[in-house]
Structures are given as C-alpha cells and as structure tokens.
Amino acid sequence: MKEEFMDVAIDLSDDNFEKNYGGPFGAVVVKNGKIIGRGINRVLKNNDPTAHAEIIAIRRACSKLETYDLSDCELYTSCYPCPMCLSAIIWSNIKTVYYANTKEDAADIGFRDDMIYDYFKALSEGTVKRSILNLKAMNNEEAKEVFDRFKEDEDKVIY
C-alpha cells in the first residue's frame, strides 16, 4: 500500500514538471489508508516561495479534516523535505514521512536546501561566519503585552 501512495507523489511531481508550476515535487498526506491531501510545488505558478508540495498537501489535509493536528497521518513526498517543509511537518505533528529522492538529489538538480541546512548547523554550533539573514530584535512593549495577556488566558490553545 505504501508504494501506491509514493507512486501518487511521484506522479504528481512528474505532472508538475510538465506544467512547470514549480520544481518537480509532489506530496500526499494519508490517513487510515486514504489520501486526504495532495500537493505539488506551485512556487512559480503562485509567486509564493512557501508553496512547496508538502506544505500544500498539509494545508489541504488540515482543511479537509478541519484540524491543525495531523498526528494520525503520514506524508509521502517525492523528495526529502527542505528545512521549511520539515518544520511544517513537525508543526502539523506528522510523525512518519516517506521520501523518494534525497536532499543530495535535490542539490544535484540545482536546489539550494544545503545552504539552509549548513546555516542552521553553523547557528547551533555558534560558528556562523557569514549570515544569510539579518535578524534584529526590537524592544516592543506592546508586543510583550499581547504575549502576557495570552499567557494568562485560561482558554488559550497551545499547538
């Protein structure tokens, strides 16, 4: 059964390659043996750098199930997820991901995921030599007040 879901993800990636909506990537979210979310990379089509196949599949699955928690789902993707997609997978509580192509395969066709992996590694090791991003903290009391109110809210939902 797992091979069938991977075949769908790969077919989506092939179809997307033909349409040129974005990179050759496809993904499906599966729950109880049924596909509940499909996604193709639509970065070029949507002018949206976050429109990766995995994220679109997650968005569609969440919409269909009317939840943000996909802990009882699996994800099948045509390629090892990039750092952004890995984060989305973690936030959605998906615990199992099946992938076909490796991140090295993605690098071989020109995708720069390794730059981000290397940056995160250097950040965690404290060895960043050249930042690819300028993060600048600003002391904003109004923002802290909102956080403080949220902290005290008895009806808050942590996800």
List residues with catalytic annotation: 54
| Phi and psi torsions of 123, nearest 5° | -60, -45
- The count of C-alpha atoms lying within 13 angstroms of the C-alpha of 8, restricted to the half-sphere facing its C-beta, is 19
SS3 156: coil
Token code pair at residue 109: 């066709």
Beta strands per DSSP E along 32-151:
34-40, 73-79, 96-101
Nearest to 55 by CA among 34, 32, 26: 26
